[in-house]
Amino acid sequence: MPNNLVRRLTALDAASLRQLRLDALVETPESFGSSYEEEHTLTLEDIRGWIAPLDDGAMFGVFTNGTLAGMVGVGRQRKLKMRHKAHIWSMYVAPAGRGQGLGRLLMHAAIAHAQTMRGIRQVQLSVTSNNMAAATLYASLGFAEYGREIEALCVNGELYDETLMALALTGK
Ligand SMILES: CC(C)(COP(=O)(O)OP(=O)(O)OC[C@H]1O[C@@H](n2cnc3c(N)ncnc32)[C@H](O)[C@@H]1OP(=O)(O)O)[C@@H](O)C(=O)NCCC(=O)NCCS
């Protein structure tokens, strides 16, 4: 029985996170706005910057028997007029861990963190429109589609639409 643990990532996780992020960009390039070509030169210092303990964001990892098996980021929009919105990014579970509830655990952690961020009224994300696994997960958590960007990504010459989804947070 695998032992799965979700926790906030710290600077000590930078090397594992860097490797998982690059693996993700290679394995499912159409799932991310960024690319391996843009990120393989990032240093551990750059990655530590992503996971620095900020009030306005966090990265979570799921560890299976101590190995980083998945990741997700959540962050507040920076612009003054958009600071009531958070966004989810870098959602990924390595292939061996899929279908075992790890993605759901990561999303619960990211949403719970957004709920602790003062004044956040909604959490937004975008998902490649043909990504049924991710879209089904998000819909099951209450995310609803609010728009669609046609031909949002061009990956290896192929065009992909993106579905824009949001989860309203209540009681803030
Ligand atoms: C999308 C992804 C994160 C899901 O992670 P996961 O750990 O396999 O998901 P879980 O096992 O927690 O499943 C949670 C829910 O997602 C949905 N889901 C997961 N895999 C699915 C599939 N292949 N088909 C349809 N729905 C699926 C189901 O609703 C599932 O709930 P259920 O088990 O109660 O039916 C994972 O497939 C992944 O990393 N894919 C590649 C990268 C990616 O697409 N990232 C998202 C970018 S927006």
132 within ligand 1 shell (Cβ under 6 A) = yes
CA of residue 100 to ligand 1 center, whole Å = 9
34 within ligand 1 shell (Cβ under 6 A) = no
73 within ligand 1 shell (Cβ under 6 A) = no
Query: What is the C-alpha separation between 7 and 172, in angstroms, rounded?
Result: 24
Question: What are the tens digits of pLDDT across the range 74-104?
Answer: 999 999 999 999 999 999 999 999 999 999 9
- CATH code, domain carrying 31: 3.40.630.30
Query: What is the C-alpha separation between 63 and 69, in angstroms, rounded?
Result: 5
Question: What are the tens digits of pLDDT across the range 14-68?
Answer: 999 999 999 999 999 999 999 999 999 999 999 999 998 787 899 999 999 999 9
For residue 133, give its domain range: 4-168
CA of residue 71 to ligand 1 center, whole Å = 13
Query: What is the C-alpha separation between 90 and 56, in angstroms, rounded?
Result: 16
